[in-house]
Structure 1
């Protein structure tokens, strides 16, 4: 028979069982990954994850346990039964919603739900557009199923709260309830060890999926929200002096640096048309070794431009790519500097550098610039004009994101007729973002997500080709440098793991009438990063690059060319020797080519430590 004093342990047990059940749902939803785990991994997922589950359970139990202390001191008619039930119901709905949303987010992003998606709460339309390819009916059914499971578990494990036994005084009841409340300290901390529990305590495997599955979702979300941007630096791998020296050595110039940088431009002050291509993974760009036929216009342009074939995105989100490209600044593993206007105001910016020598500027985007806090960053950069979704007629806002790419390019062409020269015009496409809507017939068969993505990239390339055909006939073309680069890569095609270098490889191309004839058709195979675009461009324009400390000229080879990229929560380091990827939470290598030395791991750690330390200090 249940009694009042069994309520607290029963309530604790309810949340613990619920968390274990949602962990099982996660594994079932990602069954192919779960089935591929090494033998014995599944029991360890639950075993190692139990401490974090218990910690999250203890946090959720604090309010009910405290209410029970208060209720035990009051007459029975004032006992807060309904308040306890309401609290549990609200939390149950929130946890169930996050658990179900995480199923698809993990498939798309490769990491468990944390604070990252919450950055987009101020742009609900864009969030909905991003989820356009998710199986909403399946997700809705699963949410209903998880809610029913939670209700059933509560009825079976907790049930109604009995009154006090006859003759049992309220003072004794309060004392017993306080003791239960005090006992929560142990699971809150994850045990009696000196250091409270954290994510790394549940990481047990060399397979990232196993570690991710062991995490407790609410704990992970709240931990992400509470992480301070003021320090201390969580990526303290080396003594600061050693890390700083290692990074300086990474930027040491090669022996041929002074002779390798022949000018590419016919003039020092060309117009600059900077086009950022949404999700243009190198896997679809034939000219850099990707799938042929998806980007015929980009591939054709490569034959008359300067093509860089070994460039890697600095991060995996648009807002990270934007800062890397326009400010030459590294990405952060679990956040983005663009979230902090106070910090981005201190960044260098291509627009500011060009503005200082007389360039006029305009930024174009078919969607809403407020998305992911991009507008505050761009306003701080000092663009003269902005064109975004609201500036297009409603009939031209023909996708969930806003204006499709051909509409965007038509607007750019229209405005460039009267744009004062020299100009710095930046245009950011959007049609190759989920849900991959296109206004032209599909070129490739299939209705799966990869086929939709392939067709959206083809459409964006089609829109680009249409734009270039008209642009070449304009009077400004002969004095214009065209910069074409992706904001980031994509897991598709191939569903690459979150850390895989293939996911981060992107195209970079310089073209346009301002190129010297001798530069046309040049192919640069040097390994580099998005962060290097700024210094490369400014050097060709004969402008200072000293403030772009994380950017180097791709035409002046380093002693050891490299590219560093971030994912949640880890990094990749690419050099001619090969690639190593590293898990910051588990503090272990995820994958390493056999030709990669341990020194390269240290180089990546040093880069992560110093760059994040600078981010904290801004």
Structure 2
């Protein structure tokens, strides 16, 4: 059926569609220019990107036009001609054009930060509007951007204003409107049946896949897929097989119990040392910022000096690309289950087997100390429900914060609060475990003036250097404390400063530093074993010679056999197991791939149809993590499981 919209109120949909397609085309083209060196576009790939891009653009528009189509259908003739309706329609079209301009600008800024289209990060940003709005306001000349969008919108609206008037003057009977509406409603139906996330996997080059996408469509898809059922979407093994493999993985080849219940007794040799642990998790501290890992900019002189006197872990990897993934891995010692992190799964994020609960049961003063407001990303609820007391920006008097930005207090003010809490615990004759989370190394990259030789707000390099300066100040002040000699200072990143790469899981973008400094107890050394953040908690407890009951997935890095070394890394959909010479990846729709030579600039990624030994290990970890979490087998006081 051919729809003749030129003499119909539905012509308005066609005009706005044309404008939307132009905006989406411009967005895709500008992003392509930004990503051109990495995208490796052949002529065929170029055509695929734009062809699939149009499909996604139309799919999004199809969903967006549903309420518009119904409005145009149901408004009767007598109301259509009224001034109120005319004003409403004109305002709606103007707002839509402005919104398209806003989306274009937002996509460019989002790409500049993350090198991807809208994804689950943008969903989180919608939820925590205060921090995000403040961050945008402090990072960008927002009035200038919004004014520029307004001027462009006025010009585009002027181009179509006469056509809008013609459509508003049309007399159209209900039967004709119904015919047009029925035809237009086929577009969202076809989109629902034929268009999904699979289409965008046109290449192993992640930049090509992102360019083919549509930002608003990706946003909606990310919102829907914040949690994924492992058994529904991923490759599985029989539960008995996966459980046996997992038991061997976590118990160094020795099966302790049947099924997925990994609870076991950990017997660390030696007399227990009730040392304090001062764990500083640093925002976005990539390994390659440190001179010890090859950086020549001298951004981290304090950390580089500290590395020479510490136990330095040179082959450690973050489990994910977001702060909550790092917090989850270090706290719970669990692989990154698909979808949103456990920290943000409200109602299912507490009473879990955490290092905080273990140390609290041993008499430790356990605190989570955060530079920002702990309601952000549900952090306070998560930590409070897993054995921790809370100190954050909200609980800190304004008089004790000399500088704040969108994300929270400056690092040196955060450390001042932590030192006060440590003094109080020492006076109470109580060992302490403090897990600190910094905020400074994050856009807008602002910090107190006069601390370093780079002006505040000048970029990430300055934020990294200030972060390093603050760590140096922390240790200088701590040296004068009576508890200093019996404290392990642990410095580790939550994730790296960027996760973009030609492949979906670029291993080099997960490499983070960790060092443990305690001159009276830990000799300076380098630990080269391949590991990830899930191994931090078991390693720290081993350094205390502490015996404990465990439901952790991680292992003591210091006693790992070479054959057991591995790092678990992922994003919210792809789940990887890195074993040194290859990266095995599980993806939705039961897909399995492997990267060969994964640390190379352009690793080879191949599809796999049958699991090999490495992929079976991968499945065992993630299938086991999903089962254990869903069945509450890692609950701090786990219920009896019906056998």
TM bin (shorter chain): 0.7 to 0.9
CA distance 1:353–1:321, change in 2 (3 Å): same
Structure 2 residue aligned with 1:44: 48
For 1:229 and 1:607, the matched residues in 2 are separated by 18
Q: Does 1:180 align with 2:174?
A: no
Could you tell me which residue of structure 1 aligns to residue 391 of structure 2?
386
After the TM superposition, which residues 113-262 of structure 1 pair with which residues of structure 2 at under 5 Å, given as runs? Answer: 113-121=118-126, 123-128=128-133, 130-131=135-136, 132-134=138-140, 136=142, 139-140=145-146, 143-144=149-150, 147-148=153-154, 151=157, 154-155=160-161, 160-163=166-169, 173-190=173-190, 195-227=193-225, 229=227, 231=229, 235-239=233-237, 241=239, 247-248=246-247, 250-251=249-250, 253=252
Distance in 1, matches of 2:627 and 2:150, equals 44
Alignment of 1:90-109 (within 5 A): 90-109=95-114
> Is the Cα contact below 8 Å between 2:10 and 2:180 reproduced in 1?
yes
Over aligned residues, Cα RMSD in angstroms?
A: 3.7
2:477 equivalent to 1:470: yes
Tell me the residue number matched to 2:493.
486
- Where in structure 1 are there 5+ consecutive unaligned residues? 256-260
Q: Is the 1:4–1:162 contact (alpha carbons within 8 Å) kept by the matching residues of 2?
A: no
Structure 1 segments of 4 or more deviating over 6 A? Answer: 261-266, 444-447, 494-498, 594-597
Match of 2:565 in 1: 561
Aligned partners of 2:202, 2:128: CA distance in 1, in Å?
A: 37
> Contact 1:231 / 1:616 at 8 angstroms: preserved in 2?
no
**Aligned 1:452-601 pairs, distance under 5 A:** 452-491=459-498, 499-512=505-518, 515=521, 519-541=522-544, 542-548=546-552, 550-557=553-560, 559-567=563-571, 569-579=573-583, 589=593, 591-593=595-597, 599=612, 600=614
Once the two structures are superposed, residues 90-121 of structure 1 have per-residue CA deviations (whole angstroms, 9 ceiling, x without a partner) of 44444432332121112212321134334244
Q: Distance in 1 between matches of 2:520 and 2:339?
A: 40
Alpha-carbon displacement from aligned partner over 1:590-615 (angstroms, at most 9, x marks no partner): 95327999644565466455545655
Residues 336-347 of structure 1 aligned to structure 2 (within 5 Å): 336-347=341-352
Shift of 1:354: 1.0
1:161-183 deviation per Cα after TM superposition (whole angstroms, max 9, x unaligned) = 25555xx7xxxx32232233333
Structure 1 residues 344-493: aligned runs within 5 Å: 344-394=349-399, 396-400=401-405, 401-419=407-425, 420=428, 421-439=430-448, 441=450, 452-491=459-498
1:284-318 CA distance string (max 9 Å, x none): 12334444733222232333332211111111111
1:32 shift after superposition = 3.6
SS at match of 2:208: helix
The number of aligned residues is: 597
Distance 1:467 1:473 in 2: 11
Pick closer, same or farther for the CA change 1:191–1:464 going to 2, 3 Å: closer
User: Per-residue deviation at 1:139?
Assistant: 4.0
Q: Which residue of 2 aligns with 1:258?
A: none
Deviation string 1:399-426 (CA, Å, 9 cap, x unpaired) is: 3133211222233223322223111222
TM-score by length of 2: 0.81
- After superposition, the Cα gap between the structure-2 partners of 1:48 and 1:497, relative to the gap in structure 1 and judged at 3 Å, is closer
d(CA) in 2 for partners of 1:523 and 1:88? 62
Any idea what SS the aligned residue of 2:564 has?
coil
1:427-459 Cα distance to aligned partner (Å, 9 max, x none): 222222222223355867799x9x732232222
Determine the C-alpha separation between the residues in 2 that align with 1:139 and 1:568: 31
Provide the C-alpha distance between the structure 2 equivalents of 1:146 and 1:601, rounded to a whole number of angstroms: 51
- Pick one of 42, 46, 64 that aligns with 2:68: 64
Contact residue 291 and residue 300 of structure 2 kept, 8 A? yes
Structure 2: stretches of 5+ with no match in the other structure:
255-265, 598-602, 633-643
Q: Does structure 1 conserve the Cα–Cα contact (< 8 Å) formed by 2:283 and 2:494? A: yes
- TM-fit CA distance, 1:189: 3.6
| Partner of residue 637, structure 2 | none
Structure 1 residue corresponding to 2:17, chosen from 3, 15, 18:
15
Residue number in structure 1 paired with 2:292:
287
The Cα shift of 1:67 comes to 1.7
